[in-house]
Structure 1
Amino acid sequence: MALALPEVVEELLSEMAAAVRDGARIPDEHLSSLKFVFGSSAIQALDLVDRDSVTLISSPSGRRVYQVLGSSGKTYTCLASCHYCSCPAFAFSVLRKSDSLLCKHLLAIYLSQVMRNCQQLSVSDKQLTDLLLMEKTQEA
């Protein structure tokens, strides 16, 4: 079962998605609200989306992971279903200090979904497993 974001964030993302569905641009007040909730991470996440840095990788078994090419050039693996990112900012600001809801990479995933600007890649189950194992090996 997927974890839910705080209701105010869910509502904001939903309203932004409705604007995009209707062919309108995202209203400035929504962007201001995004910046209020997420601070500078909002602008950084929007930049990642603008640069097409978010890729959804899916396999025939239904597994889904995201990879986000960070501004530093490093690729981070994210699991949106449980709000996890492999970046150091997630470990420090979200998990350790609890002063952020999400890192910029996770926020970029949600924004790329809202803006319908997410790259998609289908791989075999073995390729996805190998990708995740390679990520784990690189972290060690």
Structure 2
Amino acid sequence: MAVVLPAVVEELLSEMAAAVQESARIPDEYLLSLKFLFGSSATQALDLVDRQSITLIASPSGRRVYQVLGSSGKTYTCLASCHYCSCPAFAFKVLRKSDSILCKHLLAVYLSQVMRTCQQLSVSDKQLTDILLMEKKQEP
């Protein structure tokens, strides 16, 4: 069973996607809703999208992983299927303190999907495994 975001977030992302498809832009009321739900993370996530910092890495087996080049220059791995990010803010603010439901990197992944600005990279299953193992080795 897939993990889902709270209904209000799912609905907002869905409405944003429809607006982008219709007019190639996100109306201001949706941007205000994002800011209300996610605070400063919304602005930071939109900045990551504007800078085209999100890459979808897909393998022939259907595995999909997102890499986000953060504002600090470090690359974080996001799994949209289970709403996970490898950044310290996700571990602290989302998992430990429950202050937020997403970090800016994961929100940027969802926004890049909505805005259809995500870069794509196809790799072999072994290459994807190597990417994930390399990420694990770099963690402190």
Scaled by the length of structure 1, what TM-score is found? 0.98
**Structure-2 residue corresponding to 1:19:** 19
The CA distance in 1 between the partners of 2:71 and 2:97, in whole Å, is 23
The residue number in structure 2 matching 1:118 is 118
| 1:132 aligns to 2:132 (yes or no) | yes
RMSD: 0.8
Residues 39-97 of structure 1: CA deviation (Å, up to 9, x unaligned) = 00000000000000000000001000000000000000010100110000000000000
**Alignment match, 1:60:** 60
Identity %: 86
**Equivalents in 1 of 2:24, 2:43: separation in Å?**
20
Q: Output the CA distance in 1 between the equivalents of 2:15 and 2:32.
A: 13
Q: Which consecutive unaligned segments of at least 5 residues does structure 2 have?
A: none
Structure 1 unpaired stretches of 5+: none
The answer to whether the aligner puts 1:108 opposite 2:108 as a matched pair is yes
CA distance in 1, matches of 2:55, 2:85: 14
Pairs aligned (count): 140
In 2, Cα distance between the equivalents of 1:51 and 1:66? Answer: 15
